[in-house]
Structures are given as structure tokens and as C-alpha cells.
Amino acid sequence: MAFFDNLRQRLRDALAPLTDRAAAAGLGADTLQIAVLGGAALVGALLLALPAVLTGLHAVLLLLPAALAARAAAMAVTADLEKRHGAQPGDPALREVASAATDVLLYLPLAAYPGVPAVPVVVLVVLGLLVEIAGLASLARGGAKREDGPLNAGDRAIVFAIVGLILALDPGAARWLPWLLLPVAVLAAATLVRRLGPLPRLNT
């Protein structure tokens, strides 16, 4: 845990100048969330269109990990705006809907990529959406939003970033994709079951 805490702190420090500029420009969480959604729509459209135009140029798949890295950076800036600059938290409903839409826009085009088995990609995207819905369902049961694992949104992003990187470097690896995504789907299903289970007890 100390390693990841240190990594997150280094990321915040590296993004501090960008956060300061965003604060000076009056940007808030909602604006950044909409910007991320717009960027995801653009990248998703490119991932669908470019393979038909640039046949054989698999480097276009590098757009996926690049977009996911940019999304993570934007979310870190959003958190830092609230922590260091006292910015108002964004609309939680907008955040949840935009986050789910961003996942679909970035991940689903991979299912249409030449040579990529569509079924495991679609299954994992659907399971991811169900996992997030289950996390929100806890609110209706009197609890807080659940973000427990073993496979949360950040983990799924890492998986898809790795997949995009692997396929960009070695398109032939697509035939092995089901063997990579199957255990990930099992973890996603386990997360769904866990989030639908009893609410965690608070320590007293």
C-alpha cells in the first residue's frame, strides 16, 4: 500500500502545475468530467474509423492506453482541485453517468477491431457496467457507494490499457485475448456478487 500511496503522491506533485492552471481558469469537476467524456468520444470514433482507413497500422491502438492515462490524470487533477484549491465537488449523478459512458466509448470499439474476438470484450464491458451499478445500488440500501474489489474501475482500465498496448505491438496476440480476458471477467463477476452482498459492517 505504501508503494501505491507514494505513487499517487508523486502523480499529484507532477500534475500540480496543471491543477494550478485549471484552478486559475475556474475549471471545476463537472467541466473536466465533460471534457474527459468528449475526449473519450473522439478516441472511440477514431478507434472505429482508423482501422478501416489505415489497414495494417495497428499503432492506432496506442490511443487506448493514452486516453486512459489522460483520463486518470484528469481525475487526479479534479481531486486535487477539491483538496488544495477548495473547489466544489461536481454533480455526483453527472460523474457516474459520464464515467460509465466513458468506459463504453473507450472499451467497446475494441470489439470491432479486426482480428479481435468481440465476445470477451463485450462481456467484460457489460460486467463492468453491472459492477458499477451494483456499487451504486448500495445507496438505496442505506449504505455508501461500494468500490470494493477484487476488480474495480481502475483495475479494468489497467487491463484495457495493457490490451491496447499488446495489440498495438503484436496484432497476432489477438487470438490469445480470450485467455487474458476470461480470468478478468471471472474477477469482475466475483466483484459483482460481492457488491450485491450484505453491506460491510462498520467497526464500532
pTM above 0.85, yes or no: yes
Return the pLDDT at 82: 75
Return the pLDDT at 1: 44
Delineate the domains of the chain, giving CATH numbers in brackets: 2-196 (1.20.120.1760)
- Neighbour count for residue 18 (Cβ, 10 Å): 14
Contact (Cβ atoms closer than 8 angstroms) between residue 102 and residue 40: yes
77-121 confidence digits (pLDDT tens):
888 777 766 667 778 899 999 999 999 999 999 999 988 999 999
Q: Is the pLDDT of residue 198 over 90?
A: no
Return the pLDDT at 139: 84
**Rounded to an integer, what distance in angstroms lies between the CA atom of residue 95 and that of residue 34?**
9
Listed range (52-56, 117-121, 145-149, 165-169) with the worst mean pLDDT:
52-56
**Rounded to an integer, what distance in angstroms lies between the CA atom of residue 190 and that of residue 185?**
9
Contact (Cβ atoms closer than 8 angstroms) between residue 153 and residue 103: yes
Residues whose CB is less than 8 angstroms from the CB of residue 30 and which lie 6 or more positions away in sequence, other chains included: 90, 91, 94
161-175 confidence digits (pLDDT tens):
999 999 999 888 888
Range from 11-20, 67-76, 84-93, 138-147 that averages highest in pLDDT? 67-76
Q: Rounded to an integer, what is the distance from CA 109 to the centroid of its chain?
A: 14
